[in-house]
Structure 1
């Protein structure tokens, strides 16, 4: 299912994309046939199909599942049982998802062939971007890439994030030359486990090669902005390195230091003066084009929760377009944006039909239950519900049978051991490319807060608040209402919770003990999941959580605002996450105290609960 082609052969790449999208139905049938034929004797599938690889039987007998339904199979493999529980091919590693299960990252099975599939997918990006941007083969990309912590499970299999897996693979290290994978960052700087050393080294190499840079970016908008913030804080030291031709002594990783020293081969005071002149300006507006003047675009994911960073990116961009090229997850690489220079709000992804077998659960707007959320927030995180969640049974829809303008939840059957798995993403059909549908990412089911790769749902937030409020209840305080929002006005962004408190038997709020409230902030962070805590402690991609205490009656004012927008008083319930700027201003105007966590939460790379 993976045709071989030279990624430098643009004509062949274009033809391949045309074939894949034109023959989407046939390819999807071939994909399902290959998956079933190869895996029908696995314990999981055999339990439903009794050794038959019939597609109709598969649809009728194999259930649509969430992670909790298959978690025990994954845990058995972690503990050393055979991959054949779920996959005929040996599972070579487990990919940790940013979604959580019981406070821990989900683990998705992966095989050696899956790395080849990712290679194929990345190579398909080349003819798409070449259609819109000329001359990329004349320079390099300053693309900032980082690895994250990984652990060994009891079976010896490594569990790690999907990008860490790819960057550490021989597929990445031995990648063939093509215009899309020539970077200013040496592999040694990417693979440096110390994120600060890695960031400094990659930015230094990017500045040294500024005249070769034709595109800049990172996977997520949050990561790219974190790099800009790091540059703001460290440009003087970077200039000093360039001026002296000497890498800072605190860059101690031997491979990283040697790779950077090779590029920083001699002093360059002229370049240091130029960078210093740009970075010492009063405003950093347009700094990207000033430091890397040949930049044709900024490549970052700006869909979903990353859309909140668009205004900040545009401030720094100097007019360079923001490009979201692909849609992927730990479960599978899904689709490509065939119109990469479109506005961020218009980004749609064409699902590539040989990546997996795709099904879709029809989704309806739940107008009765969430009207107030929609009216308060413009877009509600609870605006859509699957028909299955309404306790009715509906058949899934195949890839080529989705309808324009309709909403669906994505379900995948992969080559790596996931069968009819609900990814949790809600998508809207926006069009078709040949016979392959195009989808706009709408939201991640149940996620209310996200800054980086963290995804906090309403239940996780409630559990954390429940733990924190115990501290104040012992002193006779009551938490009468709360809501939250992701504050990305600064880098790194952070969670903000608005709390309305009262003393038992009294509406007047006495003076709050700052130490107690800071403890509440820390308790909240300790109670959030492992991905959040990693982002806070290890990656430093999320700032300290903040509680803003508001006056008595503030949430009544919030309700009045929502009602004024058309919400029903009878159906109103306080949104647990606020996105409306007007609603946030109402809450902000009532703040009487601000408290932040004064310590980073504990974090372990992985805790097996088996």
Structure 2
């Protein structure tokens, strides 16, 4: 009897130890989540009680070298309006998070940490299950310094291994991350650094679901270009065979791809994307209408020129609005339309309903830079302005000074595509003929447009002319130049499936898609994919 009792006791102790060990990560996650949300609540209360002008003056003093004339008025007199902001990739490196960093965040000024705290707070309020451990899948390519995911202070959120996003190939990184996401049926949040990354990952699902299902069933990671063998071995060690999940993937994909995201992850509550306006809006709209039908999209942060400037505290609203945080950067605004003698207004001088060009001082030595971003003030939260991005001035077409903004060009293009039976716009890019050189065929300056479509394999001459006709109807100045012959007819080219995914890989560090190409190397790449 005693040996049997001893065995039973030993088994019970072993089970208890096993359960306790297994519970440690979950307990650690709950404690970290509780501490982060408490810090977030404290910072949010402090932010909502902020006086905007003093906070902006303090931020400016931190950005200026010691001994510099103090105050925004003296600063603006000493430094004329600068040139365009230097190019910078969105996001930033992930700094190590120490316990003291949470305490410091309650009174310090660390935008990446404070922004993520506000994000976690807003997300958990709107979607209570969103911060479950391992309940978030990340689709984000970061080949250089790691780009911080939205919830980086709480790393146990993610079911996708961090090293998968740092692969040298964008396509390989997204496929590996997609495989790990598919392995986890109980996802609550699907997060992408950019909407294009989610778009391209789901395009990989459409094209390669049989191979992905086989990898899931076997618990293996197939060799592929851009996936080093040593990294493949380490990632494959994290997989286990799952024939049931593989069968579910095959069954759902066999029924088509409308609403596929919600069907594959029935507990999914929200899709989080790093950018949902400007060039990325086309992808968000397409995903909402097809693969992600029925799911809300949440864009938590507003960034310009690589600097974090604002946060979206309203996850469930369909149109993202951003509260500009006065202690993250020193911001100035040029009223639109531009005045003859432009003079900037400050953060506490904005008017609701008006549009402004953003001038930014976010780093020491880079003073009063034009970001090329135009914002509309939609209201105020306490004293802080709430804005909506309107357009990127740098992404406007102009061969004769006519200036067609990207968002209005996109509306004209979508209207033209709507006249082509069965066609749906997937992607597009524009080129001004001066970049084409001899390959433009001579003649008057004109636009060339490269489009990827779904549901249409060829374009007739009549269909091609529809876009030029829509532009003439929507832009009287363009119509006038076309009538005079000083702008030639627009030329429209159809490219093959996947052409824009290859273009994005060639762009380098992840950034919103440029709608007006100015790089001959990228132009040659897209020209090589034309099928009609």
1:165 to 140, 145, 151: 145
Cα shift readout 1:525-545 (whole Å, capped 9, x = no counterpart): xxxxxxxxxxxxxxxxxxxxx
Structure 2: 5+ residue runs without aligned partners? 1-31, 102-107, 397-405, 411-426, 484-488, 510-518, 520-532
Change (3 A) 1:26 1:110: farther
Is the Cα–Cα contact under 8 Å of residues 189 and 259 in structure 1 kept in the other structure?
no
Cα shift readout 1:228-249 (whole Å, capped 9, x = no counterpart): 0001111111111121222213
Change (3 A) 1:174 1:334: closer
**Cα distance, 1:122 vs structure 2:** 2.1
Partner of 1:10: 37
Change (3 A) 1:8 1:573: farther
Give the root-mean-square deviation of aligned CA atoms: 4.4
The alignment status of 1:194 with 2:169, answered yes or no, reads yes
Residue correspondence of structure 1 range 41-190 to structure 2 within 5 A: 51-67=68-84, 96-97=88-89, 117-139=111-133, 140-148=135-143, 164-167=144-147, 176-177=153-154, 182-190=157-165
Is the Cα–Cα contact under 8 Å of residues 65 and 421 in structure 1 kept in the other structure?
yes
Q: Distance in 2 between matches of 1:455 and 1:413?
A: 33
Partner of 1:222: 196
Partner of 1:339: 314
Q: Distance in 2 between matches of 1:605 and 1:233?
A: 23
Q: Distance in 2 between matches of 1:484 and 1:445?
A: 19
Cα shift readout 1:270-301 (whole Å, capped 9, x = no counterpart): 111111111122x2111001111110011123
Is the Cα–Cα contact under 8 Å of residues 36 and 117 in structure 2 kept in the other structure?
no
Change (3 A) 1:115 1:182: farther
Change (3 A) 1:554 1:214: closer
Change (3 A) 1:555 1:293: closer
2:264 to 291, 300, 312: 291
2:341 to 377, 385, 393: 393
The alignment status of 1:355 with 2:328, answered yes or no, reads yes
Partner of 2:392: 444
The alignment status of 1:415 with 2:392, answered yes or no, reads no
Is the Cα–Cα contact under 8 Å of residues 109 and 416 in structure 1 kept in the other structure?
no
Change (3 A) 1:126 1:412: same
Change (3 A) 1:568 1:13: closer
Partner of 1:308: 282
**Cα distance, 1:22 vs structure 2:** 2.9
The alignment status of 1:432 with 2:380, answered yes or no, reads yes
**Cα distance, 1:31 vs structure 2:** 0.7
Change (3 A) 1:393 1:288: same
Q: Distance in 1 between matches of 2:271 and 2:113?
A: 22
**Cα distance, 1:221 vs structure 2:** 1.6
Is the Cα–Cα contact under 8 Å of residues 359 and 411 in structure 1 kept in the other structure?
yes
The alignment status of 1:572 with 2:466, answered yes or no, reads no
1:463 to 434, 437, 458: 434
TM-score of the superposed pair, with normalisation by structure 1: 0.61
**Cα distance, 1:568 vs structure 2:** 5.5
Structure 1: 5+ residue runs without aligned partners? 42-50, 72-94, 99-107, 149-163, 365-385, 474-478, 492-545, 576-585
TM-score of the superposed pair, with normalisation by structure 2: 0.69
**Cα distance, 1:56 vs structure 2:** 2.2
Is the Cα–Cα contact under 8 Å of residues 188 and 268 in structure 2 kept in the other structure?
yes
**Cα distance, 1:414 vs structure 2:** 1.4
The alignment status of 1:558 with 2:469, answered yes or no, reads yes
Is the Cα–Cα contact under 8 Å of residues 22 and 436 in structure 1 kept in the other structure?
no
Q: Distance in 2 between matches of 1:393 and 1:547?
A: 50
The alignment status of 1:268 with 2:242, answered yes or no, reads yes
**Cα distance, 1:207 vs structure 2:** 1.1
Partner of 2:208: 234
Is the Cα–Cα contact under 8 Å of residues 39 and 117 in structure 2 kept in the other structure?
no
The alignment status of 1:326 with 2:301, answered yes or no, reads yes
Change (3 A) 1:547 1:117: farther
Is the Cα–Cα contact under 8 Å of residues 276 and 284 in structure 2 kept in the other structure?
yes
Q: Distance in 2 between matches of 1:193 and 1:570?
A: 43
Partner of 1:25: 53
**Cα distance, 1:552 vs structure 2:** 13
> For 2:214, what is the secondary structure of its paired residue?
helix
**Cα distance, 1:216 vs structure 2:** 0.7
